[in-house]
Amino acid sequence: MRLNGKTALITGAASGLGKEIAQRYAAEGAKVCIADMNIEAGRIVADEIGVAGGVAMAVEMNVTDEEAVNAGVAATVDAFGTVDILVSNAGNQHIAPLTDLEFADWKRLLAIHLDGAFLTTKACMRQMKAAGNGGSILLMGSAHSKVASALKAPYVTAKHGLLGLARVVAIEGAAYGVRSNVICPGFVRTPLVEKQIPEQASTLGITEEQVISDVMLKDTVDGEFTTLEDIGDTAIFLAAFPSNALTGQSVVVSHGWYVE
Ligand code: NAD
């Protein structure tokens, strides 16, 4: 039980990677808040965690809405007493060549990833500072925090930007024991990825099998998808790490797609 006694707020936890992290954190003893704009799905995840013996609540939160973020963090503190761990994970993808990319889609993607990370980090850092117990802030980056791919300009730009935010949080947070790190997964077969396989096939004029082998997994060392479990393991390791020795870093979990 590596997170016994801890409280975690995880955005985008109604699905995919966030849901996996919420379930794994709860199994490690943390009380978890599922913060998602899809509140129905969030409540189902919270109920499932409860049935499995964990402690979870769900809040409706659009991470681009400052009032909703502050209200969700306040509700978590009301219910659980504090927030020790933030996983800023909510995200989306948009596939388009730069020359056809609508400004509105560019702004929407940057808002979900960057505004969302800023607003949740600010609200949780303020709480962590006031509580005086330190904390861990994890931002969900991507292999696309390190490399670029065609058709993903706003996503790649935002994911690179998260590295900068985590570094500033590491430096400013150190004074009150707040650490910050970025998890950078390769492709994991979540709804976000399943949706873009046919989209990329259509935009590139290739088959879905070719999108998987020639685009998504082309540069991995073994042609394998990263798994939900791989990212859950990484999120537990980073949240449970006991000191400021590991802060301001990014951990790439991508089957060697990006090699540092
Ligand atoms: P997903 O689509 O399965 O889940 C995303 C969740 O975020 C959904 O529950 C959705 O309702 C929620 N969400 C979207 N916009 C929101 C908003 N504005 N406010 C609150 N909630 C919102 O996606 P996923 O694959 O689990 O992705 C989670 C994170 O992991 C994203 O940041 C994504 O960029 C990142 N990531 C995913 C992969 C991958 O291969 N799946 C790889 C690298 C990074």
Q: What is the pLDDT of residues 219-252, one digit of tens each?
A: 999 999 999 999 999 999 999 999 999 999 999 9
Distance of CA 179 to the CA centre of its chain: 16
Q: Tell me the average pLDDT across 50-60.
A: 98
Find the 14 Cα to ligand 1 centroid distance in Å: 9
Q: What is the pLDDT of residues 159-169, one digit of tens each?
A: 999 999 999 99
Nearest CA to ligand 1 atom 12: 12
CA-CA distance, 155 to 143, in Å (whole number)? 11
Q: Are 244 and 177 spatial neighbours (Cβ–Cβ below 8 Å)?
A: yes
pTM of the model: 0.98
Length of the chain in residues, anyone?
A: 260
Atom of ligand 1 nearest to the CA of 20: 26
Where in the chain does DSSP place strands (E)? 7-11, 31-36, 55-60, 85-88, 135-140, 178-185, 249-253
Q: What share of the chain is helix, strand, coil (3-state, %, to 5)?
A: 50, 15, 30
Active-site amino acid positions: 155
Residue 260 pLDDT level (bands cut at 50, 70, 90)? confident
Q: Tell me the average pLDDT across 127-153.
A: 97
Q: Tell me the average pLDDT across 34-53.
A: 98
* CB-ligand 1 contact for 173 (6 Å cutoff): no
Distance of CA 155 to the CA centre of its chain: 13
CA-CA distance, 260 to 258, in Å (whole number)? 6
* CB-ligand 1 contact for 61 (6 Å cutoff): yes
* CB-ligand 1 contact for 117 (6 Å cutoff): no
Nearest CA to ligand 1 atom 2: 192
Indicate if the pLDDT at residue 189 is higher than 90. yes
* CB-ligand 1 contact for 228 (6 Å cutoff): no
